[in-house]
Structure 1
Amino acid sequence: MSYEVFNVVRGLHILAVIAWMAGMLFLPRLYAYDVEQTGKAEPLRSEMQGLLRLWQRRLLKIIINPAMTAAWIFGVWMILVHAHGFGQGWGFILLPWMATKLIAVVILSGWHGFLAGELKRIHAGTSTRSGRFWRMTNEIPFLLAIVAVLSVTVEWTLG
């Protein structure tokens, strides 16, 4: 594979990650707003919760899920190119910077799964999470992104 094609794949990976991150940063905020509707008077509460839940579902299904899938596809593609196309072999995955990035991506994917599961609980009325919880955890994706991006851009090593 040529470097030009690799750069296109890398660019698409970055764009997919941006979309994934945008959704992952916004969804917990929508959850916080939803939870905070509980004490409000009808019919405004039901109307607002209905709208928030529509946004939550659309954000997850139309933006977050496809963006995560694209980020993973392009990321795996780049790993395959590094291992085979650039002749680096599989050993580069064990380099500290790459291993750290992959761990951050796996944790971010787990958080994505938690948010998706929580959507079902919120819509079923069985969620026990507070607005404060959602505000406190809202920045988890960004912290993981900092770790992943700095690992790749610095390519730090041990010792």
Structure 2
Amino acid sequence: MADQDLTPVFQIQRMYLKDMSLEQPNSPQILLEQQQPQVDIQLGLSGEAIADGVYESCVTATVTTKIGDRTLFLIEAKQAGIFEIRNLPQEQVEGILNVVCPQMIYPYLRAVVSDVCTRAGFPPILLTEVNFQAMYESRMQQAANGLAA
């Protein structure tokens, strides 16, 4: 019976859209422009414990499109998930929160961004695939280099 208490647990409790905003500050005049806009996409990750063995993981995308120095539209979307993670070493929990959870959340975020673009009257923006493992390893390497300095 005690062995069951130490069984590793990883379960999705919920996926949800935590925050969403769309801005078109120069509409409707900028919609008449014929130039191709420049698109900038920034991704962010966050995660935190919200209860004993329960964590929230969030992936944020900020999509800014401009024509010259004027913003065509700006989308910020934060997709989140609540995960139960128990009976694992802390370093494994960190890896799960920074790699596995974002990999599960990201397809939902991609769909939201694409859908909002379309509903706003623009061609959909398709976020590219992301290697969250490489991102995590890079951050860990930067942190190790920072400690060594």
**TM range, normalised to the smaller chain?**
under 0.3
Larger helix fraction of residues: 1
**TM-score normalised to structure 1 length:** 0.26
Q: Which has the higher contact order (CA 8 A, sep 6+)?
A: 1
Larger strand fraction of residues: 2
